[in-house]
Structure 1
Amino acid sequence: MTLMEFTGCTLTAFGPALSMFIITIMNDPVRVIILIASSFFWLLSLLFSSILWFIFPIKEYIWVGVCLSVLVQELFRYFLYILLRKAERGLKQFAVHSFVSSNKHMLSYVSGLGFGLMSGLFSLINILAEVGGPGTMGLRGGNSVFCLVSSIFTALTIFLHIFWQVLFFHGLNTENKKLMSYVFCSHLIVSEITLFNQYYYYVLTLSLVFTITMGTGFYAFKIAGGQLPFLNKNQNETPTTIN
């Protein structure tokens, strides 16, 4: 039973991201390098957040630590943007046939997936270790759906990091401060919402985070130039008048 739960939670959390990696990244070494570099930057943000957590006496106020962690992550997202822009010319020389060199949003997509994967691994790895046996989570007054809820949150967080990266990089490219502010604020809201899980408000928190994920995904989709067929059909239709 523990093996089945471990497998189910792992695939729930990382299955979509793994599919995206296999289909869009694995066969291109440049994309793999960018993915690894972005994952390393998230690790650096975790390191600096941990240092600040130990330096400042804010351990009694978890929400303050969450704010600090989000701020550090966004700073390192900005540092990653600077690094990738400086290396972009060299990447294009070695990636003539890569979509990294032909689509300006692919850098943000690949690096966002790296950010999300590393964030998801660190948020779920301890839970998966407990799920693997010899017992299951939810004992001693805990909730039996904790593992499943954590896996769904991890999957949504990975998607959010991809969407945030697309929006943030586009905001920096176009000097759109509203986009960058939206990324920071939505990241902060999602992180603070997860604190309600300690009170077992799983339905509420999942609903809120899912709604934010869908809205942010649609926003990133539009920014990247995506178009929905049914919207285009309505726009192309000419209005008729009745005399």
Structure 2
Amino acid sequence: MGKLEAWICIGYAFAPAIAFFIRFVAKEPLRIILYMIGIILYMIGAFFWLVSLLLTSLIWQVTRLIITTPIPILLIFIMNEEIARVLLFIVTRKAYDGLIKIGTSNKLIIPEIALLAHDSRHTLSFVCGLGFGTLACFFSVANVIADMAKDGIPGFPPAVENSKCPIHRTANDADVPFSYSIVGCLLIFLNACWTVMQWDSLHKFFKDKKLMEVTNNPTNGEEESTEHENKHWWLGLVISVIAHVANSLLSVLSPGGWHWYVLIGHFIILGICIVLTLYVAGFKKPTSWCNFLLTSHILPCKSMPRQPETAGDDNVQVIQPQNQHSQVIRRNNPSPASITPTAV
């Protein structure tokens, strides 16, 4: 029975994220690469998180007579996780700029990378955030699932059984692992939303004006509006941190029969974060929600990649087929008699 419950908890925690991955990410090879990059870079950040855990445990041993609640330690963990998210942005931003320079050159246009240069940076942050949240969920529910697979109903430290811990377990906590697995599932999508909002703020702060002029070619009016929007670049960063703190503090209330009420609070926070994320990404209401849910794109681009402007150079031509993906026809000999189109 314990192993069956463990598999049920695994389904609660990872099944929605797996279904989302298959529907929206697996169809695009570039998104799979970004997803794996997000996991690998988060593992690097997890190393620093473990180092901070060691330092925090030393502080806890020194100040345990003064600090009797885990909330200060929880806040330190949150700050470490947000620092890892910022470091992930800095590393990924360099790779992002390099991909754009390669994929939008005048002589070679790679369709999937060209789309990243036109209002699709939110796709990059979303996919990396999905990988970020998947690993966070795994570390959150791994111990609970491993304990449920054994005999008995563990899941709490032995200090609880010996009444040496201020947290006491009651009969109402028997279904805590199930609610905890659902919270882990929500944590995946919350991390995706937090990453989109935070990276959007960091992008506005570190934005290179020269790169923006090359890719988007804004007019004077657009430059003024962009400067006006950048005055509030910190909003997404602050909102994501506040939401992270609120979500973590709610988890402290889970023992004692409050876990289902806490779960409702997690759903409310997720709903607010989804609305703010869609606003940040410039989401527009689709004409048909059915077609939107069946499409393979997460967020539609506001503008398609423009044709490269090369004076007197007819060797490259960009066409738009029916599947809305760019194809390139390269002409080695511009004479009409010997044209051999080759798709790149």
Residue 142 of structure 2 corresponds to residue 125 of structure 1: yes
Contact 1:138–1:146 (CA<8 Å) still a contact in 2? Answer: no
SS in 2 for 1:145: helix
Contact 1:42–1:119 (CA<8 Å) still a contact in 2? Answer: no
Q: 2: distance between equivalents of 1:159 and 1:33?
A: 16
After TM superposition, the structure 1 stretch with the greater mean CA deviation from structure 2, 34-43 or 9-18, is 34-43
Deviations 1:17-52 (Å, cap 9, x if unpaired)?
Answer: 122333344462522442333431441353133123
Contact 1:38–1:111 (CA<8 Å) still a contact in 2? Answer: no
Identity %: 24
Aligned with 2:58 (options 51, 55, 58): 55
Contact 1:112–1:166 (CA<8 Å) still a contact in 2? Answer: yes
The TM-score, its normalising length taken from structure 2, stands at 0.61
> 1:222 corresponds to which residue?
279
One-letter amino acid of the counterpart of residue 129, structure 2: G
Q: 2: distance between equivalents of 1:220 and 1:52?
A: 34
> 1:5 corresponds to which residue?
5
Contact 1:124–1:154 (CA<8 Å) still a contact in 2? Answer: yes
Contact 1:193–1:205 (CA<8 Å) still a contact in 2? Answer: yes
Aligned with 1:96 (options 88, 106, 110): 110
Contact 1:137–1:146 (CA<8 Å) still a contact in 2? Answer: no
Q: Gaps (5+ residues) in structure 2?
A: 104-108, 162-169, 206-232, 288-344
Contact 2:176–2:255 (CA<8 Å) still a contact in 1? Answer: no
Aligned with 2:204 (options 171, 174, 177): 174
Deviations 1:116-151 (Å, cap 9, x if unpaired)?
Answer: 011101110011112223334589845221111111
Deviations 1:184-227 (Å, cap 9, x if unpaired)?
Answer: 11111111111111232112211111101111011101211222
For 1:58-207, list aligned pairs within 5 A. 58-59=63-64, 60-92=68-100, 93=102, 96-98=110-112, 101-102=116-117, 103-136=120-153, 141-142=170-171, 143-175=173-205, 176-207=233-264
Q: Gaps (5+ residues) in structure 1?
A: 231-243
SS in 2 for 1:81: helix
Higher Rg: 2
Judged with a 3 Å threshold, the aligned counterparts in structure 2 of structure 1 residues 138 and 9 are, in CA distance, closer, same or farther, namely same
Displaced runs of 4+ in structure 1, greater than 6 A? none
One-letter amino acid of the counterpart of residue 38, structure 2: L
Q: Tell me how large the CA RMSD over aligned residues is.
A: 2.5
SS in 2 for 1:118: helix
> 2:47 corresponds to which residue?
44
Judged with a 3 Å threshold, the aligned counterparts in structure 2 of structure 1 residues 164 and 211 are, in CA distance, closer, same or farther, namely same
One-letter amino acid of the counterpart of residue 101, structure 1: L
Structure (1 or 2) with the greater helix fraction: 1
Q: 1: distance between equivalents of 2:175 and 2:154?
A: 8
One-letter amino acid of the counterpart of residue 128, structure 1: I
